[in-house]
């Protein structure tokens, strides 16, 4: 499950500006298994991975599934992929290659304590070039109840639609309906029916054509099944030569669905787990050249303990335009201690590090809980707002200020660079080891003519 991210040599980490080497990014989705006491028996958790049709296609390409099993715990553990258990040493990772099969199939994983799984769809072109697309990895608890509707946003900046997948997690055969919605929320085309045996998956690359509509007309796709199910959709970024799979929007995600006319980047599910092997993950987005009024970010973070030094700056989110001097936000959290339990936000464009605005607010997170961050950078409204909500949706803190620029401009070759966690290369800026970063959403609103 190795994916090389875009080189990102100008990262901001903690409370300092640093030049760092490019990051190696993990783009898979992970299912975490909470570590238990050493004296406890090894418990197993179930996870599923859709293994898509590996048969040679008309263009000569073929595919297979690659799994990476990572034990982030301090004790040996195991995994079981439809066969005998395989041991995984503490703080170690193991790659497993599943050869391409004819037809779609559902892989079942049993994961021991401390073990996480990620997956990629590896596609080998007729020329021999290999590309990787992270596959969804999900647990039984992620199943949607029978007769409910899964909503999947399929409009993104610079992407094309790849297909729709449905997974029947029930013990009986399922009937599923796939439909597409336009910008106004009204149906476009006709719905298509999928018949799935128990515990199976079907991925329809021709779904839009079968529905009699076009990718230009469809903003969102919906999946509805009469058995407990899961759904996903495939997207392709032609300019980057990459692919991704998106998972259903939850009820409270509706306001973060990509808006028509904006430049939007969305990574549903777990996008990064900070480990000793891969501490941080970096993104390099290339928005269309032009002027923007507004940038919004949503990110969810599950806090799982503190790396030494505990009161060091544990990175959550840093976002810059091309270089550290142009900073949308740098957010980090300090653990308990005389100078800890503080969340810090820094921002500022065309400024040196000491010139940037700095805010510190008391925040005492609970280990194992997920916290939501929503960030607004609005030059038109002259508003900058960082909101943090707790696991139950209650607002825990809010920081407000004003951007120090009138517009957000992106010229040729300028990038929006975003990082999660710290690389851990500075003594007082530890990696946020064990933390889960989920449901990343970045949206830029172009300035009105």
- Give the model confidence (pLDDT) of 20-68 as tens digits: 222 222 222 233 332 222 223 345 789 999 999 998 888 899 999 999 8
Cα angle value 29/242/238 (rounded, 5°): 145
Give CA–CA dist 62/101, Å, rounded.
10
Cα angle value 403/407/410 (rounded, 5°): 115
Q: Is the pTM of this model over 0.75?
A: no
Q: Which domains does the chain have, with CATH numbers?
A: 45-140 (2.60.290), 143-246 (2.60.290.11), 252-449 (2.60.120.560)
| C-beta neighbour count of 440 within 10 angstroms | 22
Cα-flanking dihedrals φ and ψ of residue 438, to 5°?
Answer: -130, 155
Residues in the chain: 449
pLDDT for res 13: 29
Give CA–CA dist 53/62, Å, rounded.
9
| C-beta neighbour count of 162 within 10 angstroms | 21
Better pLDDT: 113 or 9: 113
158 — pLDDT class (breaks 50, 70, 90): low
210 — pLDDT class (breaks 50, 70, 90): very high
Give CA–CA dist 400/408, Å, rounded.
18
Residues 6+ apart with CB under 8 A from 408: 291, 292, 293, 294, 295, 321, 377, 379, 444
């Amino acid at each position: 499950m190795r994916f090389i991210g875009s080189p990102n040599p100008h990262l901001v980490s903690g409370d300092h500006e640093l030049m760092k080497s490019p990051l190696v990014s993990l783009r898979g989705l992970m299912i975490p298994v909470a570590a238990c006491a050493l004296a406890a028996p090894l418990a197993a958790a179930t996870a599923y991975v859709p293994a898509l049709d590996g048969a040679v296609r008309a263009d000569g390409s073929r595919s297979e599934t690659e799994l990476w099993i990572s034990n982030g715990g301090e004790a040996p553990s195991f995994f079981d992929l439809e066969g005998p258990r395989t041991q995984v040493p503490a703080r170690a990772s193991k790659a497993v290659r599943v050869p391409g099969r004819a037809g779609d199939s559902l892989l079942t994983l049993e994961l021991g304590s401390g073990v996480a799984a990620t997956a990629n769809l590896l596609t080998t072109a007729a020329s021999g070039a290999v590309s990787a697309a992270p596959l969804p990895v999900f647990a039984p608890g992620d199943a949607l109840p029978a007769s409910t509707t899964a909503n999947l946003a399929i409009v993104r900046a610079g992407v094309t639609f790849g297909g729709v997948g449905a997974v029947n997690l029930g013990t009986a055969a399922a009937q599923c309906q796939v439909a597409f919605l336009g910008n106004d929320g009204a149906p476009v085309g006709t719905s298509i029916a999928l018949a799935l045996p128990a515990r199976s998956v079907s991925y329809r690359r021709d779904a839009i054509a079968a529905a009699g509509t076009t990718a230009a007309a469809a903003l969102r796709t919906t999946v509805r099944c009469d058995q407990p199910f899961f759904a996903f959709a495939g997207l392709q970024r032609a300019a980057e030569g990459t692919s991704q799979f998106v998972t259903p929007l939850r009820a409270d995600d509706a306001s973060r669905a990509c808006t028509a006319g904006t430049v939007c980047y969305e990574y549903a599910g777990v996008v990064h787990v900070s480990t000793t092997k891969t501490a941080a993950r970096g993104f390099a987005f290339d928005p269309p050249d032009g002027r923007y009024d507004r940038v919004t970010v949503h990110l969810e973070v599950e806090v799982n303990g503190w790396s030494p030094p505990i009161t060091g700056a544990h990175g959550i989110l840093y976002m810059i335009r091309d270089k550290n001097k142009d900073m949308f936000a740098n957010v980090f959290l300090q653990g308990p201690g005389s100078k800890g339990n503080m969340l810090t936000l820094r921002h500022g464009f065309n400024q040196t590090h000491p010139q940037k605005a700095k805010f510190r607010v008391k925040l005492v997170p609970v280990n194992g809980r997920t916290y939501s961050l929503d960030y607004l950078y609005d030059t038109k409204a002259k508003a900058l707002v960082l909101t943090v909500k707790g696991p139950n949706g209650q607002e825990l803190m809010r920081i407000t200020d004003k951007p120090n620029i009138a517009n957000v401009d992106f010229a040729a070759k300028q990038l929006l660079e975003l990082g999660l966690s710290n690389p851990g290369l500075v003594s007082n800026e530890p990696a946020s080891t064990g933390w889960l970063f989920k449901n990343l959403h970045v949206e830029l609103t172009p300035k009105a003519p």
